[in-house]
Amino acid sequence: MSTSVVRATRILDRLAHSRAPMTLAEIASELDIPKSTAYTILRDLASESFVTVSSPPAYSIGLKAFEVGSAHLRASGTAGAVAPELARLTRALNITSHYAVLDGTEVLYLCKEDPPTLGIQLASAIGARLPSHLTAVGKACLAWLEADWLPGHVEWATRGADGQTISLPDLTAELAQIRVQGFATDDGAAAVGIQSVAAPVFGLTGLKGAIGVSLLCGSAPSLDPVADDVKTAAARATIALGGTTPNHHVLPRNDHADQTSVARR
């Protein structure tokens, strides 16, 4: 692959995960790219609207990058199946709902629906990433991986918000329970005071991702009604995608239609 193309994609990836515009010097230094080369690439990306330039000169991700990224959802048919279910969940529960996919050792949030009121938005911004084993959406996906694929999708050293790590035996036992009950929970591991519930979505080729919601710990007398709503939404999205939820006793072969089969790290 062309060195220029690789550098351009690295620049776009860095800008996509930056909370503020970055200067040329910052980009060149962090990515170890000569300033003159970085400037030329940024100029070309800006001319095609993949990058936005502010004043004083600083760079942020552009609308064209969003448009290209959104094409993934349209091409896969996922958006049409998931978006209506997120809207129904948010109307019913008055909390933010989201859809995420497993990408290496992280989950990537692709869709979300916010309630009219502030709601609990946590890190479920579109394009946000979190460690797979710390999130309900991540564990809902991990539960349906073949056992020998699991280690490559978990960053074992990553600590939760409570400072704890997890072992393979403990996670394996939790994932087995998730397959039985049909949903996963995150009780403050991703963010203190926030709990999430998620259920997997399947398509014709297997696991696609997971639908989830986040709420304040203790705000619901029981998570069972929330879990039922989330499972219903995931089941409806699965049907719309032509998929079938597997029997919990059998780990299905996962062709990673919307996933990355090799860990990012």
Backbone φ, ψ for residue 60 (5° rounding):
-140, 165
Mean pLDDT estimate for the chain = 83
Residue 92 sits in the same domain as residue 44: no
The two tokens of residue 3 are 């060195």
- Confidence (pLDDT) at 225: 92
Q: How confident is the model at residue 212 (pLDDT cuts 50, 70, 90)?
A: very high
Q: Tell me what percent of the residues of the chain surpass a pLDDT of 70.
A: 82
**Overall number of domains in the chain:** 2
Residue 97 lies in a domain: yes
Residue 45 sits in the same domain as residue 82: no
Residue 165 sits in the same domain as residue 92: yes
What would the mean pLDDT of 173-202 be, rounded to a whole number? 88
Residue 90 sits in the same domain as residue 38: no
Dist CA 176 CA 119 (whole Å) = 31
Beta bridge partners of 101: 108
Residue 96 sits in the same domain as residue 185: yes
- Confidence (pLDDT) at 129: 86
Residue 86 lies in a domain: yes
CATH of the domain at 22: 1.10.10.10
Q: What is the pLDDT of residues 133-168, one digit of tens each?
A: 999 999 999 999 988 888 889 988 887 767 778 888
Beta bridge partners of 210: 100, 200
The two tokens of residue 173 are 């036992």
Residue 112 sits in the same domain as residue 155: yes
Q: What is the pLDDT of residues 92-121, one digit of tens each?
A: 998 889 999 999 999 988 889 988 876 555
Those residues whose C-beta lies under 8 Å from the C-beta of residue 64, and which sit 6 or more positions away, are: 48, 49, 50
Contact status, residue 156 vs residue 165, Cβ threshold 8 Å: yes
Query: What are the strands of the beta sheet with 184-187, ordered from one edge?
Result: 129-131, 106-113, 97-103, 206-216, 194-203, 184-187
Torsion of CA 59, 63, 68, 69, to 10 degrees: 80
What would the mean pLDDT of 35-46 be, rounded to a whole number? 94
Residue 84 sits in the same domain as residue 125: yes
Dist CA 108 CA 28 (whole Å) = 26
Domain end point (choices 31, 62, 93): 62
Residue 126 sits in the same domain as residue 96: yes
Residue 93 sits in the same domain as residue 204: yes
Beta bridge partners of 185: 197
Residue 248 lies in a domain: no
Dist CA 22 CA 147 (whole Å) = 41
Q: Which domain holds residue 37?
A: 3-62
Q: How confident is the model at residue 230 (pLDDT cuts 50, 70, 90)?
A: very high
Residue 215 lies in a domain: yes
Which of the pair, 132 or 164, is modelled with greater confidence?
Answer: 132
